[in-house]
Amino acid sequence: MLPPLYKHQEFTADFIANNPRVLITSDPGTGKTRSVLEGFKRLRAAKGIRRMLVLAPLSILRAAWGDDILRWTPTLSWGISTAGSDKKRLSAFESDCDVVITNHDAVKWLDKNRHVLNEFDVICTDESTAFKNPTSQRSKAMARIADLFEHRITMSGTPNPRTVLDLWHQALITDDGERLGKLFWEFRSQVCTPIKVAAAANAVQWIDRPGATEIVADKLRDITVRFRLNDCIDMPENTIRSIYTDLPPKNMAQYKQLEKESVIMADSGDYINAVHAGARVQKLLQLCSGAIYDETGLSHQFQQERYQLVLDLVMERDHSVVAFLWRHQREALCKLADKAGIKYAVIDGSTPTDARTLAVQAFQRGELQTIFAHPQSAGHGLTLTKGCATIWASPTYNLEHYEQFNARINRAGQTRKTETIHIAARGTWEEKVYEKLEAKQVSMRDLLHIFAEGTQDAA
């Protein structure tokens, strides 16, 4: 016996069944996948809709969509189409399954093989920020194939991690430019102001104008569904706290030298250069994390205390998820975990899809104490509610990765209080990165708050 839909899922499913263009911006962890599957079932029953194509991150094709179909809508048949030979790609499309799930990059192949989409009436684009860049080949292909679908569902819990400009192409593939316009440059001039950031003529940064958030939200209101996690599900408390470390004196001296001169000598005697300001900040953050990479990609170790702190936090908790950003962090954490006898798995860009699925299942059964994961690879669609702590071994500038990764444990199905732990070296750029993340959160949440108010009025 399946548990009933939450009230917000019922609303979302009905909205999908009654509107051919839908933009779902509900929080990560609110059960958007089940809402979409139920909405698709209602479309099939009421309007004779045939098949649905789902575009999603490669890492969650089976772990999120496949497993959710088995769990919530077992009467729907489904297949996964992944890269390989044309024969391998085609097998799911040539079957008679109700739902075909494939990865974002498949749109370029689909654009060249449009005939495989003849029987599809619905397209669901999960984690649609993958298509926010209007000039990428992937986004252009997506815009072309979107025209083939009568019903379009676009989903992201973090739709504008940097600026309202992030929403333009996501809206375009949903409504063909009806609400935000068909020309990106025209939209940009309406909602943003150019700020010169360097001497070069094209060195311009576009900043959201005052009131841009309200303008965009008002234009998209009629197709948008937005529910906040804490408003629709009685969630246990999530606490965010920071743990500060001090770089050893020698490493702090190296940090100061790199900050000032853009070059330092590693313990190995090799010189490491940072060629511009952005590279310098990246090198400074690497140094804080315990190692730094030279021009050849080799890492030079500086200090190990950071890794031991992370392992101590892991050992103090029954189940946790650790975010790492660099290869040297992964290697050091795995080495220490092996030494301590900690059962763990790794999820990053090198982890095969099947191995990711097995890791998530083992974690949820309580067989693993922790998962070491890169937020880009494990930040979408995975349910890790067995965990009670998200530990950031280093900060990320990417707000979408940050929000989505934190939502792996703080989501529907979580029954315990959770914590998000930031690790930062005192007096370094790491503190500033967390501050910048907070500022970005304010901007994104202003827009999402307006979307949520509109949905509540409709409900």
Buried b (16+ CB within 10 A) or exposed e, 111-124: beeeebbeebbbbb
Question: Which architecture characterizes domain 7-230+445-458 according to CATH?
Answer: 3-Layer(aba) Sandwich (3.40)
Mean pLDDT, residues 366-383 taken together? 92
Name 261's Cβ contacts closer than 8 Å, sequence gap at least 6.
Answer: none
Among residues 207, 168, 208, the alpha carbon closest in space to that of 184 is found at: 168
Predicted confidence (pLDDT) at residue 221 exceeds the cutoff of 80: yes
Q: Residue 294: what pLDDT?
A: 63
Mean pLDDT, residues 5-19 taken together? 96
Domain spans in the chain, listed from the N-terminal domain onward: 7-230+445-458, 235-247+306-425, 249-302
Q: Residue 335: what pLDDT?
A: 94
Q: Residue 299: what pLDDT?
A: 57
- Of 243-257, 278-292, 388-402, which gets the smallest average pLDDT? 278-292
One of 3.30.70.20, 2.60.40.1220, 3.30.565.10, 3.40.50.300 is the CATH number of 235-247+306-425, namely 3.40.50.300
Predicted confidence (pLDDT) at residue 267 exceeds the cutoff of 90: no
Q: Which residue has the higher pLDDT, 199 or 443?
A: 443
- Of 32-36, 126-130, 194-198, 326-330, which gets the smallest average pLDDT? 194-198
CB-CB contact of 122 with 52 (8 Å): yes
Q: Residue 11 is encoded by which pair of tokens?
A: 């609303």
pTM greater than 0.95: no
**Bridge partners of 410?**
none
Q: What percent of the chain clears pLDDT 70, i.e. is strictly above it?
A: 92
Q: What's the rounded Cα separation, in Å, for the pair 413 and 229?
A: 11
**Bridge partners of 291?**
301
**What is the identity of the amino acid at 313?**
L
Length of the chain measured in residues: 459
Q: Residue 275: what pLDDT?
A: 45
Q: Residue 271: what pLDDT?
A: 44
Q: Residue 231: what pLDDT?
A: 87
